[in-house]
Amino acid sequence: MRLERVWSILQVPVTAKLDWVIRYTGEEGCDLFEPALQAWEQAAAAVLERERSAHMSHLYRCLIVRVIVTVIAIAIVIVIVILIVIVILIVILIVIVIVIVILIVIVIVMVMVMVTAWTVASNFMVASSMSQGAEDDDLTCSIHGLVLKAFT
C-alpha cells in the first residue's frame, strides 16, 4: 500500500516497478526494503512539496499578471473618461463662445439700427426746419450736433 502510493506520487513506470520488485524481494534486498521505502516516501513528500510550491508560484504569477492587467484596464478607462469630460467641456466652451458672438452681433445690429434711426431722425429734423424757414432752436442743434459727432 505504501509502496503503491510512492509509485503513484512519483509516477514510476512499470519497468522501474519491476526492477524494485526484483531488487527487494530477494534475500539480500529484503532487509533493505523498509529503509528504502522510507527514503522514497521522504523523497516523494519532497517532490510533492516542490510541485505545490511551483504550482503556488505559478498561481501567484498569474494573479500578479491579472492584477496588473486589471489596473491597466482601469487606468485606460479613467483616461478615456477624462478625455470624454475634456471634449464635453470644450464643446460647452465653444457653445458659450458662439452665444457670446451672437450676442455681440445682436448688440452691433441694435447699435447700427439706433444710429440709423438717429441719423434719419436728425436729417428729418434738419429738413423740416429748413423747409419751414424757421431757425433751429438750441435743443435741436445740440441733439443733431451730438449725434453727428458720436456716429460719424
Provide the residue ranges of all domains of the chain, joining segments of one domain with +.
2-151
Res 136: pLDDT: 47
Tell me the C-alpha to C-alpha distance, in Å, between residue 95 and each of 31, 36, 87, 103.
Answer: 97, 87, 12, 12
Q: Contact 44/9 with Cβ under 8 angstroms?
A: yes
Res 131: pLDDT: 55
Res 37: pLDDT: 84
**Could you list the mean pLDDT of each consecutive 10-residue stretch along the chain, which spans 152 residues?**
84 86 78 85 87 86 94 97 98 98 96 86 67 51 58 58
Measured between alpha carbons, how far is 53 from 18 in angstroms, rounded to an integer?
31
Measured between alpha carbons, how far is 6 from 62 in angstroms, rounded to an integer?
30
